[in-house]
Amino acid sequence: MSVFAKLTLTEIRLTLREPVYAFFTLLFPVLLVTILGNVPDMKEAPPELGGLRVIDLYAGLALGLAIGIVGLQGLPSVLATYRERGILRRLATTPAPPAALLAAQLVMNLLTMLLSMVLVYTVAIVAFDVPFPANPALFLLAVLLNCAGAFSLGLLLSALAPTGKTANAIGTFLFFPMMFFAGLWVPRELMPEILARIGDFTPLAAGQDLMTDALMGQSPGVLSITVLVGYLVVCGAAAVKLFRWE
Amino acid sequence: MTVIEVEKLAKRYGETVAVRDVSFNVEPGEIFGILGPNGAGKTTTVECVAGLRTPDAGRITVLGMPAADPRLRTRIGVQLQESELQDKITVREALELYSSFYPDPADWRELAADLGLTAKLKSRFGKLSGGQKQRLSIALALIGNPEIAILDELTTGLDPQARRDTWDLISGIRDRGVTLILVTHFMEEAERLCDRIVVIDHGAVAALDTPAGLIQRAGDQQKIRFRPSVPIEDELLTVLPEVRAVHRQGNRIEVTGSGDLLHAVVSVLARNGITAAELTLEQSTLDDAFVHLTGRE
């Protein structure tokens, strides 16, 4: 087995020992959909939503919430802690490159999000009649791009934050406005125009739009894709350039 | 063949000069000590040797290659200060994972047994004691079957018993044919373990010698204290060439000098029918040599 595969398996195994992580990434989104799905108002379909019901949007938002938690809070604090505690430095003394551990963390989180996606949509589709995505391939791409946007922002945070604690604090500070723009409190479609347009340029909102497009079988928003790929390229490159290994 | 050659190493961090001028060679199979006060540049020196930092000036050759050569990572084991592991990783998982990094790893079960970790294989890193963490660190430094092992401050923070156990372990590692670089600020540790020691102070080499050689340089100081069975005159002792000075503390006499001081003093007392009670002999230690060389405690 390659060193990278070994590291990834180890990271998965270690994450399984973190009940808080498992709760917020896997259980919490499902719980949210289940609770909201039982609120009668959620079954309504205001005309602004173009045929979708509120709950159809909230299935995506529940997954987006998990992606935001992982990307902005989990990932940066874990990576900054790995640096702070000399885990990366120890790795640098071995033939295994420390970057492989970072990549292993990213892959582990991505796999967790895909599992979360399956859980959330299984419950949403089976229990609450949320439609199966009209364009499944685009939907998968939307979820991956949503992760890419949030994770690369988190990676940049871990590159800049001096400690795991600071990384977590900054991440939390960014998390709430970004979830707001993604529509967690008021769906984007119902937001005042100006807020919705600002939201277009935040990663979790762009990801949410793209997931909605795929759900309804619309052609994907070029702006959403551009924004997410932009975060991936700009934040990713900055993180690679600025990352301090110790 | 010399395994490590360090020539005129210099390294600064911004305005701070960590290492100014350090040169030394390490021979195969020896335990080579790097000694110095805190902040002297010891850790920076070994980090450059381990290829973790790029020197500003100077040349480091390890096993015939430049220190930065990535191929060296499989041939050098390094235990650094303040390098931890994930809290939830078990000892066994860490050993297995790290052994998978190397082309020809040691048997991790044997290594765990040698380091007294067998009973702890299922324990998580976060639950280990300081000594156990340290031993796991040493195991990870040795897991790739390295030709050279660099151990930085390996007994700092250990209790005296754990420190002595670690020393036994180090001797055992040398017996496997591994060349060892030991960074320490414990004199007793350096004196007991090292074949040769380089003393680094203010980023430069203050001395390079065997422990005995360093002590010799500090001035061969011996001190004898005793209570004579009958009162004696100072002259009886001061005429001896080995004696430098005689002091009295109540009915006790303190003689300082060099060479075969003990024999000279006891002989002259015996010739005069005097016995020496409560006799103690103090010789200079590496501690004295260190203070002499660095001018610090």
Give the pLDDT confidence of A90-137 residue by residue, as tens digits: 999 999 988 999 999 999 999 999 999 999 999 999 999 999 999 999
The pairing of beta strand B276-283 with beta strand B222-228? antiparallel
Averaged confidence pLDDT in chain B: 89
Beta strand segments in B176-260, E: 179-184, 196-201, 204-209, 222-228, 243-249, 252-257
Q: Report pLDDT digits (tens) over B1-18.
A: 799 999 999 999 988 899
B-chain CB neighbours of A79 within 8 Å are none
Cβ contact B294:B207 at 8 Å: no
Q: Report pLDDT digits (tens) over B53-96.
A: 999 999 999 999 999 999 999 999 999 888 899 999 999 999 99
Q: Report pLDDT digits (tens) over B237-279.
A: 888 888 888 988 888 898 988 888 888 888 988 898 888 888 8
**DSSP three-state, residue B150:** strand
Name which of A4, A14, A93, A163 to mutate to probe chain B: the one with the most chain B Cβ atoms within 10 A of its Cβ.
A93
Find, among B7, B71, B83, B72, the residue nearest to B45 by Cα: B7
At B192, the amino acid letter reads R
Whether A93 has its CB under 8 Å from any CB of chain B: the answer is yes
CA distance B244 to B241: 8
Query: How many CA atoms are closer than 13 Å to the CA of A113, on its beta-carbon side?
Result: 31
Residue A232, both tokens? 């991936």
Burial of residue B33 (number of CB atoms within 10 Å: 0-12, 13-18, 19+): buried
Count of domains observed in chain A: 1
Query: Hey, what domains does chain B have and what are their CATH numbers?
Result: 4-209 (3.40.50.300), 217-294 (3.30.70.980)
Find, among B14, B37, B92, the residue nearest to B294 by Cα: B37
B-chain CB neighbours of A93 within 8 Å are 50, 52, 73, 76-78, 80, 141
CA distance A3 to A15: 18
Q: What length is written for chain B?
A: 297
Host H or E run for residue B20: strand B16-26
Q: Which of A91-95, B23-27, B188-192, B224-228 has the lowest mean pLDDT?
A: B188-192
Residue in chain B lying closest to A95 (CA): B73
Q: What ipTM does the predicted assembly reach?
A: 0.87
Find, among B263, B272, B225, the residue nearest to B241 by Cα: B263
Cβ contact A196:A41 at 8 Å: no
CB contact under 8 A, B88 and A18: yes
| Domain interval for residue A195 | 3-242
Whether A22 has its CB under 8 Å from any CB of chain B: the answer is no
Q: Which of A59-68, A174-183, B166-175, B189-198 has the lowest mean pLDDT?
A: B166-175
Q: How much is the pLDDT for B150?
A: 94
From the list B85, B97, B101, which residue is nearest A95 (CB)? Answer: B101
What is the percentage of chain B residues whose pLDDT exceeds 90? 46
Q: How much is the pLDDT for B292?
A: 76
**Which single residue is written with the structure tokens 């040493």?**
B138
CA distance A168 to A230: 23
Q: How confident is the model at residue B196 (pLDDT cuts 50, 70, 90)?
A: very high
